[in-house]
């Protein structure tokens, strides 16, 4: 099976992460299920590492004043213009704060050999918001964007 880390993350998100992103106590059972479903051990381990890193991202504090974000060359190579514009759009519309923006960028960059499409980026944003405390409204708004429940004139 030619799956990648993102496929494993999507499987976990859709099947196990209803309320909050956290590594569940029965993670060995989940790993076994993922392997039985055909995911490779290496990709499963990387996906769990990605999620563990996400839960450790609590040290970033949102800025109080407006911030201007400049993307470095590695980020520009990984995130095309449309993806970078989506991040800026989400921040300007209050779905992402500056801290969550940085976590989204970090988690996108952590998917080393992945090409980050707009759809993948939307899911990354959704996973990040789900992992953050007190972001239920932002998560709900992002969920509407992911599932195309937002009128097109808002894009």
- Residue 5, token pair as written in the block: 């880390």
Confidence of residue 21 (pLDDT cuts 50, 70, 90): very low
pTM summary value? 0.79
Confidence of residue 151 (pLDDT cuts 50, 70, 90): low
Q: Rounded mean pLDDT of 68-72?
A: 88
Q: What is the pLDDT of residues 115-139, one digit of tens each?
A: 899 999 999 999 999 888 889 999 9
Is the pLDDT at 7 greater than 80? The verdict is yes
Confidence of residue 4 (pLDDT cuts 50, 70, 90): confident
Q: CA–CA separation, 99 vs 55, rounded Å?
A: 13
How many of the other CB atoms lie within 10 Å of CB of 128? 27
- Residue found by looking up tokens 């991202």 in the block: 57
């Amino acid at each position: 099976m030619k799956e990648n880390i993102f496929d494993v993350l999507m499987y976990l998100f859709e099947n196990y992460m209803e309320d909050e992103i956290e590594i569940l106590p029965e993670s060995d059972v989940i790993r076994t299920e993922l392997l039985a479903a055909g995911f490779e051990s290496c990709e499963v381990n990387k996906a769990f590492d990605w999620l563990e890193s996400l839960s450790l991202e609590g040290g970033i504090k949102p800025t109080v004043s407006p911030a201007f974000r400049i993307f470095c060359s590695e980020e520009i190579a990984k995130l095309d213009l449309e993806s970078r514009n989506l991040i800026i759009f989400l921040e300007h519309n209050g779905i992402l704060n500056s801290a969550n923006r940085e976590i989204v960028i970090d988690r996108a960059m952590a998917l080393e050999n992945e090409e980050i499409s707009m759809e993948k980026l939307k899911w990354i944003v959704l996973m990040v918001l789900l992992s953050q405390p007190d972001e239920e409204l932002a998560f709900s708004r992002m969920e509407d964007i992911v599932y195309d429940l937002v009128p097109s004139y808002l894009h």
